[in-house]
Structure formats: structure tokens, C-alpha cells
Amino acid sequence: MIEIRNLSKRFDSLVVLDGVSFQVNDASLVVVLGPSGTGKSVLLKSMLGLLQVDSGDVVFDGKSIQASTEKDIYAIRKKVGFVFQGTALFDSMNVADNIALPLREHTNLSSKDIKERLCGLLEVVGMAGKANLYPQSLSGGMKRLVAVARALALNPKYLFYDEPTTGLDPIMTDRVVGLIQNLKKSHASSGIVVTHDLETARAVGDEIFMLKNGRINKLTKIEKELYD
């Protein structure tokens, strides 16, 4: 379970997060909805200690990020797979090396085992046969799928998706949404999806929160129906 407790973050005079609190229960996918520029990505990065927060804390399975040393934070991050909005694939590496990197760094798997795992992950995201391509030669949607495969490499307990469908065509959007839904069932992993897309939020979220003006509010059933 992840508990976000009273998280606040400001950039100079701009308050981005103002006492944000919610929790992500095991095996549930929480959607944080909000217009562009409201601080959804800041929220995700702050949760993982990439950005220093002004106050508040995030607790992963009882371990506080604020009270953790750098080593402990790295241990927490190994439990999290993160799909960046811009995919953040390493452009000097091909698809195979991008996905295999966390396996090479954090496991003692043999090359053969890594290759097997890699093929399995590419199958899961529907990118089999694309292992030798470089990110520059992939479309935006394909990059997103590779980014999901990389996020899954260490079999994480939590998956964070930052705007997973932004900028994709409707067909690719359906494919990515389907993948998120399938992963939720097959991996039973919990996580957070931040998006400004209502359709995506409705399709994947067990709970939906609205982030606006730094404050977060849970959407009730009636509000969800109104949105629908």
C-alpha cells in the first residue's frame, strides 16, 4: 500500500501541491485526473523522491520516503515501474538493451535468462521482433509500449504511468489502455495513472482523484457519472 500524506510542493511562489493526501491500496489502480500543468507529474516524481517536497511524506509498505537514506530510497524504487510521459528511453541503446538494463543492473540472471525474460516482456506488450530497433525508429505509441515493457522488467509491485495515452492516435490509445487493464489483471500490481484524458481515467481507474489548484479530491460515483 502507498500512503501519500499531506504532500506540499511549490516552485517559488507557485503552489503545485497543497497538502495532497490519498492512498493506493494493494491491487488497485488509482487515477489522478487533472488538466495539463496542474502538477500531476510533479506528484509522481515527488512520491519517488526525485523532487524534494516542502512538507509531507509518502509511505511505501510502511517505509517512509522522507525518513529513508539514499540506499533505502533505491530499494523502494526497485518496487516501482515508471512509464514516463516522454517515454525516457535511452536513445543510445536499442529496445533490447533498454529493457534489459534494469535486469543487468539488479539481478544475477544469465544472458540467456535475460534474453528469455526480454522476449516474454516484448510479447506481453505486443512488440515481439522489435528488439533490435532503436527508439529513434519507433513511433510514439511503440515507444510507449517499450517503456511499459521496461517498467515491467523487474516485476514491480507498483506501476506508475505518467500520461500513458497523451499524443497517441485512438487505435494506439485503445491498445495502451487495454495493456494497462491486462497488466492489472495478470500482474495484480497496483499503481497510479496520471492523465488528463477522461476516457482513459474511466477505463483503467478503480478510484479517480481530481488534482486542481494543488488540492486533490476523490471523485464520487455521481461526479463520475456526470463526467461520463
Partner 1 sequence: MNLFSAIGEFFYFFSRSVFIPWRLRETRYRILRQVYEVGINSLPIILIIAAFVGLVSIVQTSYQVAGSMPRYIIGATVGRMVMIELGPILTALMVSGRCASSMAAEIGTMRVTEQIDALEIMAIDPYRFLNLPRIIGTFIALPVLTVIAELDALLLSGAYAHFFLGIPFGVFNYGLTHFFYARDFFGGLAKSLFFSLVIATSGCYFGFKVRGGAREVGRAATLAVVTASILVLVLDFLVALVIFG
Least CB distance to partner 1 at residue 218 (A): 26
Q: Which residues pair with 64 in a beta bridge?
A: 59
Phi, psi (degrees; rounded to nearest 5) at 74? -60, -40
DSSP letter for each residue of 139-185: -HHHHHHHHHHHHHTT--SEEEEESTTTT--HHHHHHHHHHHHHHHH
Which one among 15, 27, 59, 88 touches partner 1, defined by CB under 8 A? 88
C-alpha–C-alpha distance, residues 173 and 106, integer Å: 31
Q: Which of residues 18-47 bind partner 1 (CB under 8 A)?
A: 45
Would you call 103 helix, strand, or coil by DSSP? Answer: helix
Which range of residues in 16-24, 28-36, 85-93, 204-212 is near partner 1 by CB under 8 A? 85-93
Which range of residues in 2-10, 80-88, 136-144, 193-201 is near partner 1 by CB under 8 A? 80-88
Asked if 101 is part of the footprint of partner 1 (rule: CB under 8 A), the reply reads yes
Asked if 172 is part of the footprint of partner 1 (rule: CB under 8 A), the reply reads no
Instruction: Report the run of H or E that residue 139 belongs to, with start and end.
Output: none
Would you call 3 helix, strand, or coil by DSSP? Answer: strand
Asked if 91 is part of the footprint of partner 1 (rule: CB under 8 A), the reply reads yes
Least CB distance to partner 1 at residue 153 (A): 8
Asked if 86 is part of the footprint of partner 1 (rule: CB under 8 A), the reply reads yes
* Helix/strand/coil percent split, the chain, to 5: 40, 25, 35
Site for partner 1, rule CB under 8 A: 45, 48, 50, 74-75, 77-78, 80, 82, 84, 86, 88-92, 101-102, 104-106, 154
